[in-house]
Structure 1
C-alpha cells in the first residue's frame, strides 16, 4: 500500500496498521522527511517493511513518478491512501488568493493527480482500493475554514465520480471522515472552538480505531462511492 501524507499524525497510524498486517508500506512526504523516517522506523521495528518517496503533490508529474517507483520497487500496488491536508484559519472575506489556491491545490488537486496516476496502475490489473481522508467540514462548512471546507467538499465529489467511472474496472473509491485529532493541522481549531463541538459519546474514536477502519474499508470488497464518518457529533 502507498500512503500520501505518511508523515502526518493520522497517516502514521494508518501506515503502522498496514505494516502490522504484513503489508509493504510506501510513505510519501513533501517536506517532513524526518517524520516520515520515524514512521518507517516504527514499521520496521515491528517487523514490517517501509520505503520513502518524496514529492510535491501539486505537481502531477512528481505524483505519477511516486506511484510508478513504488510499483516498480514493490512489484504491485493494491491500496492507495490519501491522507494529505493543509488548512488556513481565515474568514472567507479575509482569505487571500494565494491562501485559497494553496489549500485547494494541495488538498483537492493533489488528490486528483494521485487518483489519475493510481488508475493507470489499477485498471490493467482490474482491481484496487482508494481511500480519501475527508472532513465533516466538507459537508457542513466551518467558520474560518472556507478554503479547507471547499477542498474537502470537492474530495467527496471527486470520490463519487471516480467510483462511478471506475467500478467496471473493480476499482473501489471511498472517503473516511477521521474526526478531530490533535495535530499540527487541527491546531488552529483550538482557537475557534471546533474541537469542542458536542459529541453524543464521551470519547471520540482513537487514532487506532481510525486506522483500523481505514484498513478494513480498504480491504473490503463490494463497497465503493461511500462516505464513512468516524464521529459522534450531530450538527
Structure 2
C-alpha cells in the first residue's frame, strides 16, 4: 500500500486557480485525488480546472464563490458533495494582502484581509467538518506564511491573519482529533506568485533580501509545495496534527 496515494479521495482547494493553490491542486491531482477548486474569478477557475483535468486525468470541479461569506461557503460545499458524494481533504488557501503600515491601514482594509485569509478558513472548516466526520476522518490543511512567525511592518493585517491561522489550526486539531480529522498548517516562504510579483515592485529591496536569506539562493516555485501538500493530505501523516510546517528553503531557520 502506498501511504501517499490519494485515489478515491475528494479534495477542496480554495484559491486553487493560481499560484500556490494551483501548485497544491496539481500535486493532489497527480496523487489521484478528485478536486474542487473554489475561487472568485470564474473564468480563471474554469480554465485551471480544465487544464488540470487534461493534464492529470482526474475529475476537477470549478466553483465560483467568495469563501469569506457563510452563504457562498455553504453552497460551494453542498455542490462538492452533490458532485462527488463525499469530502476528504480541505485546503484553506484563499488569501489577499494590503501593503500599508498600521497607522495608514483603514478598518475596512483590515477586515478585508482578515475575512479573506482567516475568516474563510474558519467558515470552510466548519462547513466541511460534518462531511469529514461522516467519512470516518479527513484532513484540513491551512496555508499560513512566514508572516505567521515574523512581523511585517508593511502588512500588519496579513501578518495578524496568518498568525491567527496557526492558532486556528491548533484549536481545530484539538477539537476534532477524536473524529480522526488531522488539521495542520503549511507556512510557505517566498514563492513566485502574482501576489509576490506585486510585492517585489511595492517593497523596495525585497527580492535582494529574500535571495540573501534563503540558503538555496532562489525563490520557490508553486511545485515546491506539492510534496508537503500531498503528505499532509494522505495516510502518511495520520499521526501528525496541530503542526505548522515551514516550506521555506530554510528562511525561518536563520537567526
**TM-score category, normalised to shorter length:** over 0.9
Number of matched pairs: 234
Q: Does 1:150 pair with 2:163?
A: no
Tell me if structure 2 keeps the 8 A contact 1:89–1:188. Answer: no
| 1:54-93 matched pairs, under 5 angstroms | 54-93=64-103
Q: Does 1:28 pair with 2:38?
A: yes
Tell me if structure 2 keeps the 8 A contact 1:122–1:128. Answer: yes
Tell me if structure 2 keeps the 8 A contact 1:25–1:50. Answer: yes
Mind listing any 5+ residue stretches in structure 1 that lack a counterpart? none
Please give the per-residue CA displacement for 1:190-215, whole angstroms capped at 9, x wherever unaligned: 13244423112234543212112111
Q: Which residue of 1 aligns with 2:242?
A: 225
Q: Which residue of 2 aligns with 1:213?
A: 228
SS of 1:187's equivalent?
helix
Mind listing any 5+ residue stretches in structure 2 that lack a counterpart? 1-10
Tell me if structure 2 keeps the 8 A contact 1:85–1:185. Answer: no
**Cα shift at 1:93:** 0.5
Q: Which runs of 4+ in 1 moved over 6 A?
A: none
- Alignment equivalent of 1:118, drawn from 116, 128, 144: 128
In 1, the alpha carbon distance for the partners of 2:69 and 2:20 equals: 23
Please give the per-residue CA displacement for 1:142-173, whole angstroms capped at 9, x wherever unaligned: 12110000000011110100001100000110
**Cα shift at 1:182:** 2.3
- Alignment equivalent of 1:45, drawn from 54, 73, 86: 54
TM-score (norm 2): 0.87
Q: Which residue of 2 aligns with 1:139?
A: 149
What is the root-mean-square deviation of aligned Cα atoms in Å? 1.5
